[in-house]
Structure 1
Amino acid sequence: MDGQSAKPDREGEDSALRKRLPPAERRQQIVEEAVRFFAEVGLEGKTRELARRLGVTQSLIFNYFATKDDLIEAVYEKVYIGRLSLDWPERLTDRSVPLRQRLIDFYTEYSALIFEREWMRIFMFSGLAGASLNHRYLEHLGEVILRPLLAETKALARTDTPPKMEDVWNLHGGIVYIGIRQHIYRMPEPAKPKEEIARAIDKYLLYFGINSER
């Protein structure tokens, strides 16, 4: 009898605690759970189910996000744009540091941020659903990271065929595939991912005749 009466009391206390969350914390809670939710079920997941997981009403979610698309936009900002460091373009174009080292530093940091389940699965689900997240992210990445990298490669290349944007994308895609292999295909990651990244970078530089010390 006592155990049965205690449960509603605890539920009432939990509900009261949820209601007392400041708006900024509530919004953050919704976005963080949405990241986990969409990574698990895809972007077609229903906000009703998300609300159930949060232990709140669906209408509360829509108090913070007018539409599901607005919520997905917040997920995009958190998982993708929010992980791009503002100083990466400057560091990638700092010619006082050899290009090889710049690339290794960048891809070591970048891979640490994206080689995780949520990033990979949301990205894949977005592509399968034909959502704009992939296109927008890749376009942004191309402008702030890959185009500067192409310019740096062209400045040092010692081959008759000049580097093209496709070459940079091939380097980038090959490195990202390490994470895809683990989180999408459920295959073991390389024993030493950093060595795999360095090997891909060395192959890229060698193709354009770029000395690793330059």
Structure 2
Amino acid sequence: MVSTHPLVVPSPPAPTGRRLTAAERERQIVEGAIAYFAEVGLDGQTRELARRLGIAQPLLFRYFPTKAALIERIYEEVYLKRWDAGWEATVRDPSLPCLERFRRFEIDYQRTIDNYAWLRIFVSAGLKGFDLPSRYLGMVRARIFTPLLTDMRAESRLPSPEDQPLAADEYELLFGIHGALVYVGLRSLVYGIDGGVDRDAVRAAMLDAALPGLLATHRRVVAARRETAASGA
């Protein structure tokens, strides 16, 4: 479980009193921006960010000419750098049943994103109309859920996606469980409601409750989609 109090905002390193190199200054701006936007949301102003960093706004724009460029760097730093290629290997591992692959992915993934900046910036980006959440969830869909659903079809001896394309309601089965697990972190790190629970243990228990019926439900969803397609033919 993350021990940091949910309302404590990480701070960028304090100035050292010496002139920073270009790389150090860029790092200072990026880390300060992550902390700032996690606290106030992505509608925060770059003028206020510069003030908090103790630099002039033109200096900030020398490194990041637009706010959009700075947010793109935050996306790379907070989201893309945390993406683990091992997750993709796990959901494709033929030595494991599909439900165990899903369990292992979710346990490690949720622990990775259980982070103040990750969750709060993600929520703010969605509310403020930035495409960061849709781009990131597109990766989850394509790299994790598509191969997993494909192998769930095979494990249940259902038509392959080549014969019957994967449907939105199949993805929603996985996104529904996935989103419920994310909410455990949101409740603490965004809403400030925790109660001292062990979030890892809570998510493990939720998976124990959700996974046993997943394959049977998936089979019904695929069968219903096939029947709908046949009746409309």
TM bracket (short chain):
0.7 to 0.9
What CA RMSD, in Å, does the superposition of the two structures yield over aligned residues?
2.5
Identity %: 39
| Number of equivalent positions | 194
Cα distance, 1:146–1:44 mapped onto 2, change above 3 Å: same
Cα distance, 1:194–1:16 mapped onto 2, change above 3 Å: closer
1:33 aligns with: 32
How far off is 1:58 after superposition? 1.0
In structure 2, stretches of 5+ residues that fail to align are: 1-14, 159-165, 218-233
The CA distance in 1 between the partners of 2:34 and 2:192, in whole Å, is 20
1:104–1:197 Cα contact (<8 Å) kept? no
Aligned to 2:203, which of 173, 197, 200?
A: 197
Q: Which moved more, 1:148-157 or 1:168-177?
A: 148-157
In structure 1, stretches of 5+ residues that fail to align are: 1-13
The CA distance in 1 between the partners of 2:196 and 2:216, in whole Å, is 27
1:7 aligns with: none
2:170 partner letter: K
1:157–1:208 Cα contact (<8 Å) kept? yes
2:163 aligns with: none
Cα distance, 1:195–1:156 mapped onto 2, change above 3 Å: farther
The CA distance in 1 between the partners of 2:154 and 2:196, in whole Å, is 32
1:66 aligns with: 65
The CA distance in 2 between the partners of 1:190 and 1:146, in whole Å, is 31
1:174 partner letter: A
Cα distance, 1:194–1:157 mapped onto 2, change above 3 Å: farther
Normalising by the residue count of structure 2, what TM-score does the alignment of the two structures yield? Answer: 0.74
CA-to-partner distance for each residue in 1:145-182, whole Å, 9 max, x for gaps? Answer: 222222232222479xx971111111111111111111
2:214 aligns with: 207
Aligned to 2:171, which of 138, 156, 165?
A: 165
1:190–1:196 Cα contact (<8 Å) kept? no
2:147 aligns with: 148
Q: Runs of at least 4 residues of structure 1 off by over 4 A?
A: none
The question of 1:188 aligning with 2:194 is answered yes
2:119–2:190 Cα contact (<8 Å) kept? yes
The CA distance in 2 between the partners of 1:100 and 1:197, in whole Å, is 15
The CA distance in 2 between the partners of 1:189 and 1:115, in whole Å, is 16
How far off is 1:57 after superposition? 1.3
1:75 aligns with: 74
Q: Which moved more, 1:95-104 or 1:135-144?
A: 95-104
The CA distance in 2 between the partners of 1:26 and 1:64, in whole Å, is 9
Cα distance, 1:147–1:189 mapped onto 2, change above 3 Å: farther
1:120 aligns with: 119
How far off is 1:15 after superposition? 7.7
The CA distance in 2 between the partners of 1:101 and 1:190, in whole Å, is 28
1:144 partner letter: R
CA-to-partner distance for each residue in 1:96-116, whole Å, 9 max, x for gaps? Answer: 133343233222221122112
1:181–1:189 Cα contact (<8 Å) kept? no
Normalising by the residue count of structure 1, what TM-score does the alignment of the two structures yield? Answer: 0.80
The CA distance in 2 between the partners of 1:190 and 1:167, in whole Å, is 29
Larger radius of gyration: 1
The CA distance in 2 between the partners of 1:82 and 1:111, in whole Å, is 15
1:133 aligns with: 132
The CA distance in 2 between the partners of 1:200 and 1:105, in whole Å, is 13
2:115–2:189 Cα contact (<8 Å) kept? yes
How far off is 1:200 after superposition? 3.3
1:107 aligns with: 106
1:158–1:208 Cα contact (<8 Å) kept? no
The CA distance in 1 between the partners of 2:178 and 2:206, in whole Å, is 9
Cα distance, 1:189–1:179 mapped onto 2, change above 3 Å: farther
